[in-house]
Amino acid sequence: MFSASEGILSVDELNIVRDAHVEWCATNSIDPQSEAGLDAVRLMLQAYRDGVRDVNGLVTSLDEYVQQRGAPVRIGSPPIDSKTA
């Protein structure tokens, strides 16, 4: 079982995270070894440490995170001028 104090996951626990990562990346057409893929697995590991312990839960957790991060983005909005006067 995951030991939060030691930060060590068992082979079975790593397999759960791996399976969720592979599933999420395949569904979203993301290379698991890309920057986005590596960010995804980092977020899944954090979710696992926070108590999400199954493949579906990890996938859902990451999907919710992506949705929350994208919520402020409005495609087609006028650009924001970032130049200072």
pLDDT of 72 reads 78
- Cα three-residue angle 12-16-17, rounded to 5 degrees: 120
pLDDT bracket for residue 81 (50, 70, 90): confident
pLDDT given for residue 5 in this prediction: 47
Q: Where are the domains of the chain?
A: 31-71
**What global pTM score does this model have?**
0.77
Q: Rounded to whole angstroms, how far apart are CA atoms 67 and 23?
A: 17
Q: Give Rg (Cα) of the chain.
A: 16
pLDDT in tens, 42-72: 999 999 999 999 999 999 999 999 999 887 7
**Encoding tokens for residue 31?**
């290379």
pLDDT at 35: 95
24-45 CB burial, b ≥16 within 10 A, e <16: bbeeeebeeeeeebeebbebbb
Closest CA to 61 of 77, 50, 70: 50
